Amino acid sequence: MRDRSVLVTGAGSGIGRAVSLACARRGANLAVLDIDGDAAEVVARESEAVGAPRAVGIACDVAAEDSVRSAFDAAAQAIGIPGATFANAGIEIDGPLHEFELESWRRVLDVNLVGAFLTCREAVRRLVETASGGSIVCTSSPSAFVGFAGGGNSAYAASKGGLSAFVRSAALDYASHGIRVNAVVPGATDTAMLVSGVAAGSRAATMERIRTSASEQIPLGRLARPDEVAAAVVWLLSDDSSYVTGTNLVCDGGLMAKSANDF
């Protein structure tokens, strides 16, 4: 990754932050994008502190076409055209289908699926124009492949199912350009997203409850740490995975390998 230019969306916290720091430690230049511009700036400074020669924080809403285009322009100006892009920004809004607001459904699809499309499109455009190969990784979810037993997950599942299908198709379209497109499929990971739908005052207690359930339900006996998911993403972003494209790399502690049947 040394002196490579890497762009990460949703990089202000959680998995995106961990990937930014992991790339920075390997000497990459970083464009750290987040809808929360202050958080992006903080992670950019952290990235330089751990080894990035240059890191820039950019406020960007991945669901907004102009915002994504200008963020890629700003990134190219600051660190050069990104040869590696991590389309990671995502949100989760849960609720029973019969009560679900159209506005919430649209926002989940807009951020998770349209956002990945806009991010990948800007990345691919520049790589095709400059005839340089590259690597793109999107963040999918087990919900792309299996239903969550907790329920109420239809919008998020639809967005991630669409994303995993999109990745396969885009990988085929750009293989001849030397552009690889893959998805990482993190299992339950210890980030703010796990309690994003919970009232602020109950988040710590809910997180503890989730950690306890994880120790009972996940074969490896715990939630993933963001840096464990980051290790898989860095591999996909780097030339170490030079023969891998169109895949969904599952990093879930064995969750999807397990049937709930116990008889």
What are the structure tokens assigned to 224, written together? 């993933």
- Which listed residue (1, 6, 10, 55) binds ligand NAD by CB under 6 A? 10
Positions in 168-227 near ligand NAD (CB under 6 A): 186, 188-189, 191-194, 196
Compute the least distance from the CB of residue 255 to ligand NAD, in Å.
10
- Give the Cβ contact number of residue 199 at 10 Å: 8
Please tell me the distance from the alpha carbon of residue 221 to that of residue 215, in angstroms, as a whole number.
Answer: 4
Q: How many residues bind ligand NAD (CB under 6 A)?
A: 31
Q: From the candidates 72, 156, 166, 174, which is the catalytic residue?
A: 156
Count CA within 13 A, CB hemisphere, residue 148: 21
Sole binder of ligand NAD in the list 22, 60, 123, 214 (CB under 6 A): 60
Minimal CA–CA distance to 113: which of 159, 52, 167, 58? 159
Q: Which is nearer to ligand NAD, 35 or 218 (CB)?
A: 35
Looking at beta carbons only, is 109 or 193 nearer to ligand NAD? 193
Give whichever of 63 and 137 is closer to ligand NAD, judged by the CB atom.
Answer: 63
Residues near 254 by beta carbon (within 8 Å), at least 6 away in sequence: 218, 219, 220
Amino acid, res. 5: S
**Which of 105, 178 has the CB closer to ligand NAD?**
105
CB contact at 8 A, 222 and 253: yes
DSSP state at residue 225: P
Site for ligand NAD in 64-103 (CB under 6 A): 88-91
Other beta carbons within 10 angstroms of residue 196's beta carbon come to: 12
Q: Which residue's CB is nearer to ligand NAD, number 182 or number 191?
A: 191
Of 29, 47, 139, 182, which one interacts with ligand NAD (CB under 6 A)? Answer: 139
* E strand spans, the chain: 5-8, 29-34, 55-59, 84-87, 134-139, 179-186, 248-251
Cβ of residue 231: shortest distance to ligand NAD, in angstroms?
A: 15
Candidates 1, 6, 7, 9; binder of ligand NAD (CB under 6 A) is 9
Catalytic, 243? Answer no
- Enzyme catalytic residues: 156
Contact residues for ligand NAD, defined by CB under 6 A: 9-10, 12-16, 34-36, 39, 60-63, 88-91, 111, 115, 139, 141, 186, 188-189, 191-194, 196
